[in-house]
Structure 1
Amino acid sequence: MREVDLDVFAAAWAEGALVLDVREPDEYRAGHVPGARLAPLSVLAAAAGEVPRGRPVYVICASGNRSQWAAERLAAVGAGAVSVAGGTSGWARTGHPLVTGPVPGAA
């Protein structure tokens, strides 16, 4: 499983990288990387087929533990998944923006 640090992730994010947030909806609502798509671990297997192939997918959670597990599973089905070390907590701690609010598509 590949893992990238926050600097590498920040550069990829600035270029429009696909970001999957594997935390739970309440965590996502509390603050997430702008543009991140929510794909909680509890439904990741069902969502795996929708993950694009042929391009990197940056998987993020709170600290990097859940994203490592998720990235391994996604890589096993052919996705170019990489885990973001430090997660959303590290992202915020290093001064990067967070978005709060509802989960996209939720009523």
Structure 2
Amino acid sequence: MERIKPADFQVLHQKEDITILDVREVDEFQAGHIEGALNAPLSTLDKGYEQLDASKRYYVICQGGMRSERACQFLETKGFDVVNVEGGMNQWKA
């Protein structure tokens, strides 16, 4: 699984139009998220992944990095191109 460090993710986010998949629960997402991020909670990803575009590369983020790791593992088995954002929102600096 590919991973990206928080500082590298920040730079990439500023330079490129990337697709961010936030796998936190809806209430966590609504409390604050990266602008433009899609919300697909890990708890419902087994069904929700069907709504995702398999041709895109997703940068997967959660609060601390554990749920995004599990989400990436799952999505990879479904053929998705994913990158786990290490440290999650705990490391995000808007």
- Report the alpha carbon displacement of residue 34 of structure 1 after superposing the two structures with TM: 1.1
Structure 2 match to 1:100: none
- Report the alpha carbon displacement of residue 54 of structure 1 after superposing the two structures with TM: 3.5
Larger radius of gyration: 1
Q: What's the CA shift string for 1:48-105, capped at 9, x where partnerless?
A: 12222333200000010000000110111111011100101111xxxx22xxxxxxxx
Identity rate, percent: 38
Structure 1: 4+ residue segments shifted above 3 A? none
1:5 aligns with 2:5: yes
Secondary structure of 2:7's counterpart equals: helix
Structure 1 match to 2:45: 44
The alignment's TM-score, normalised by the length of structure 2, stands at 0.89
Q: Which amino acid aligns with 1:87?
A: G
Q: Which amino acid aligns with 1:80?
A: D
Structure 2 match to 1:32: 33
Q: Which amino acid aligns with 2:70?
A: W
Structure 2 match to 1:102: none
Structure 2 match to 1:82: 83
Q: Which amino acid aligns with 2:34?
A: V
Q: Which amino acid aligns with 2:52?
A: V
1:22 aligns with 2:9: no
Tell me, which stretches of 5 or more residues in structure 2 are unaligned?
none
Matches within 5 A, 1:63-82: 63-82=64-83
User: Would you say how many aligned residue pairs link Structure 1 and Structure 2?
Assistant: 93
**Counterpart-to-counterpart distance in 2, 1:41 and 1:72:** 11
Q: RMSD in angstroms over aligned alpha carbons? A: 1.3
The alignment's TM-score, normalised by the length of structure 1, stands at 0.79
